[in-house]
Amino acid sequence: MLLGFIGLLLWRIGLGRRLFVFALLLLWLLSLPISAQLLMGGLERYPAITPAKASKAQAIVVLGSSRYLKAPEYGGRDSVSRRALFRLRYAAWLARCTGLPVIPSGGVSVIGGRSEAQISAEVLKDDFGVRVEQIEPRSRTTWENARYTAQLLQRLDLHQIILVTDAGHMTRAMYAFERNGVHPLPAPTGFVSVPRLKHRLDDFLPSAHALWLSHYALHEYLGLLWYSFK
């Protein structure tokens, strides 16, 4: 949209018109479901974890993903976001299947309040019946998730963990954890890129959801690029 606005400002010269048309074309491409699927497919590199692999771990680490601020239906208290709830549900399921403890990771937001890890621990206990003994409450980014969790695991003498996060976020999360000396077993959830034998007509019709998925995918690609520079 910014590129299109620049094109309008420069409309009187040939470059401005080309920029405007290119911006519209780019917006249209990013809003197509097939484009979003292709972008997410490049990120969802890790398959679902198998029971045999899960049995080798000592704990389950689940990463936070923002919060639901001042939820009116919960008395105005902060709760977890939809994406975080998706991760917590899967972590709770793995905990019931394996008997392993769950360690939520996530710190305090810029506006203060309780940490995401504390809120996640409450959701796990109250909504899923999973008791949490340890949390990582300091991290504000995926890289800090990895760094502070690595320090916690060292104190607890835990060497092998299962890492739970979105399938599209797992590539960046694994990169961060491995660079911080932790080699977790990836347990992705919330897969978006599902192989199809045949495409449908609506795969080529723009949608707001596809545009959001493209935004999410580009965020992850830019994050990986930033990490590689850092």
* Residue whose C-alpha is closest to residue 63's, from 12, 151, 136: 136
Structural tokens at position 173: 């999360």
90 three-state secondary structure? helix
The superfamily in CATH containing domain 51-189 is HUPs (3.40.50.620)
Asked if residues 63 and 163 have their Cβ atoms less than 8 Å apart, the reply is yes
H-type alpha helices, 71-166? 82-98, 116-128, 142-156
Helix, strand, coil percentages for the chain (3-state, nearest 5): 55, 15, 35
Given the DSSP bridges, would you call strands 67-71 and 77-80 parallel, antiparallel or unpaired? antiparallel
Rounded CA gap, 109 and 116, in Å?
8
pTM: 0.91
* Residue whose C-alpha is closest to residue 104's, from 70, 138, 127: 138
Structural tokens at position 202: 């609506």
Rounded CA gap, 10 and 26, in Å?
18
In the prediction, which pLDDT does 197 show? 58
Q: List per-residue pLDDT tens for the chain, 230 residues long.
A: 898 899 999 988 878 889 999 999 999 999 999 999 999 999 999 999 998 999 999 999 999 998 999 999 999 999 999 999 999 999 999 999 999 999 999 998 767 779 999 999 999 999 999 999 999 999 999 999 999 999 999 999 999 999 999 999 999 999 999 999 999 999 999 999 877 657 788 888 999 999 999 999 999 999 999 998 87
Asked if residues 148 and 105 have their Cβ atoms less than 8 Å apart, the reply is yes
Which residues, including other chains, have CB under 8 Å from residue 82's CB and lie 6 or more apart? 68
* Residue whose C-alpha is closest to residue 225's, from 183, 172, 173: 172
Strands ordered across the beta sheet of 161-166:
102-105, 59-63, 161-166, 185-189
Instruction: Give the DSSP H or E segment for 187.
Output: strand 185-189
